[in-house]
Amino acid sequence: MNYSFFFIPTILLFSLAGCKTGINTENPRLSALEKKIQHYYQEKHRDSMIMVANELLPLLKADSFAVRRGHVLVQKGIAFDILGQYDSASYCLYEALHLGETEKNPELLARALNNIGILYFNLGKSSEAITAYERWLGMTKQQNDSVGIARALNNIGNAYMTIDKNTKKAIPYFQECITISNAINFNQAWFTASINLAQCLILNDRLEEAQATIYKVNKTGGNDYYADYTQALIHRKAKKYDKAIAIMEKIMGLKVNTRELYLALMNELAQLYEEKGDLDRALDYRKQYQTKRDSLHTLERENIIQELKISYETEKKELHIVTLNEERKLYLILTVVGGIGIFLLFIILILINRYQKLKRIRIEEQVKKLEQEKQLVAASSLLDGENHERGRLSRELHDGLGGLLTMVRLDLAQIKTNMSQESQKLDKAILLMDKSITEMRRLAHNLMPESLARFGLKPVLEEYCKGSDMVNFHFYGEELRYNEKTEINFYRIAGELINNALKHANATEINVQLILSESKLSLTVSDNGVGIASPKSKEELMTVRSRVELLGATMNIYTLPQKGTEITIELCKESKN
């Protein structure tokens, strides 16, 4: 079923156009203009409202008139909004909002925010309208303004119901508005919210609650064609078509002058007769609906054309006055503009020159960055090639030469069992062969330890440190795994730093500390040697630095002559396998 819900107009409740502007009534001209703008509002002469506002605003330029100027801007914005000139309306209302914030005037802020909400409501922008209404609601709650709270709640509910079609979200706002309005005897807000709440309840199949709400409206003497129309919708939802038709045709007979409601009635009756099965009557109402809608559109177009014509004549008169005033200012303006033009040209030349310098600096920085990236790529390729070659040599030593040496040792052992005379020489040969095999395995392990891929950095580095009595290994954290490239490079870095301390620093004690965690991988190698002094030691550190830069890690070196060296490498937020 399609329902032609018609929501009650809320201009009187929510536009606040009739509030006093606070203009100083001691000035006769200001007082007269104030009365004019109120009169034109009541008579719906929107163009005249704008003309009077244009007369008032120049008289209110002084800072002492800021609040009064804001109220006039609100009235001018309302006129533009009704005329559909939304850009102009937006400018006036936001200017009034700015004045209200600057002057901290609650009444002006409330009027501006409310009418900004109405502007966005008319544009169908629910989010912006609700934002303005919510801010207005917050102000009214701070001031304990029950009337303002009721108005704001009703407006928010109306936005959710009419634009978003989210009646479930609208219901709590209408219910709260009804509660507050009832407590302060604000009958108009209570009646409006009650009708809208009833229609929301109908849409949510809560017919008993909707019926109870309409009953309260009728009981308090608020029954009129809006309440009757909602009652008819309840009957239709309950499939009581005859009762719904009777009420709607009764409203049609009242000759209501609300065009939107009249159209909704004809459309609703057409659908009711169609559901009832009376297709002739349905078609008759459908034709009336189409004819009335077309005639209303034609009338609206004629009204718009007439308003545009009046607006054009008004603007033409204003333009003539402005032209006369502008002619007197023309020579002064030309002089000022010429001076400003020369000054701007000078500024532009300075900015162009500055821009060229900045552009040159950026290009140089980009070239430098590209060079650094090129060096990093070259270093990465070199280290990857080195690791690959180490792995290949390790496998060939272990699988090729290692296997041959083992076979030779087995053959020598077999020969020893068959020869007693030369056993001493064979023992010596076997001993040398065992030492060769051990040394070959050590070389293969150092080139590329297989256990690194199987067990990770911590156990392999710990095993490596046990190979020398002068090296102490310390571990903190969790035994986490990192990607292969990171583990290999940290293993190589540790090895190079240890060898550097042993060969070039004459160290007698070396401490290796490894920290593994979710957020950081840290390696520290410290010794009690002579410090970093020899060229060979510095050359070794260049290789270490290349690996560190490749990983994107940081390296800190602390060294003193004859005091030793401490080197720390840290890699943060490493992604693990």
- Answer yes or no: is pLDDT of 511 > 90: yes
pLDDT tens by residue, 372-397? 666 666 556 655 666 666 665 655 55
Nearest to 154 by CA among 171, 135, 132: 171
Residue 353: per-residue pLDDT: 87
Lowest pLDDT segment from 88-92, 122-126, 204-208, 392-396? 392-396
Q: How far is CA 19 from its chain centroid?
A: 38
Cβ–Cβ under 8 Å, residues 224 and 247: no
pLDDT, greater one: 185 or 293: 185
Same fold, 125-204 and 455-572: no
Domain locations along the chain: 1-123, 125-204, 455-572
Q: 362 phi and psi, to 5 degrees?
A: -65, -40
pLDDT, greater one: 113 or 293: 113
For the segment 231-258, the average pLDDT, to the nearest whole number, is 83
Q: Over the chain, what is the mean pLDDT? A: 79
Residue 319 DSSP label: H
E-assigned strand segments in 1-150: none
- Specify which residues 558 forms β-bridges with: 566
pLDDT tens by residue, 418-432? 665 566 666 766 676
User: What superfamily does domain 455-572 belong to in CATH?
Assistant: Histidine kinase-like ATPase, C-terminal domain (3.30.565.10)
For residues 446 and 440, give the distance between their C-alpha atoms in angstroms, rounded to a whole number.
10
Three-state secondary structure call for residue 80: helix
For residues 116 and 93, give the distance between their C-alpha atoms in angstroms, rounded to a whole number.
6
Q: 362 pLDDT band (50/70/90 cuts)?
A: confident
Q: Is the pTM of this model over 0.75?
A: no
What is the percent of the chain where pLDDT is above 70?
Answer: 73
pLDDT tens by residue, 308-340? 555 555 556 556 666 766 777 787 788 888 889
Cβ–Cβ under 8 Å, residues 398 and 444: yes
Convert 236-280 into a string of H (helix), E (strand) and C (coil). HHCCCHHHHHHHHHHHHHCCCCCHHHHHHHHHHHHHHHHHHCCHH
pLDDT, greater one: 108 or 225: 108
Residue 311: per-residue pLDDT: 53
Q: Vertex 480, ends 444 and 550: CA angle to 5°?
A: 65
Lowest pLDDT segment from 82-86, 440-444, 460-464? 440-444
The Cα diameter of the chain in Å comes to 142
Residue type, 488: I
Residue 577: per-residue pLDDT: 41
Q: Vertex 368, ends 363 and 369: CA angle to 5°?
A: 95
- 106 token code pair: 């609650």
pLDDT, greater one: 323 or 475: 475
Lowest pLDDT segment from 50-64, 225-239, 431-445? 431-445
User: Torsion over CA of 74, 78, 83 and 85, rounded to 10 degrees?
Assistant: 50
Residue 4: per-residue pLDDT: 45
Into which CATH architecture does domain 125-204 fall? Answer: Alpha Horseshoe (1.25)
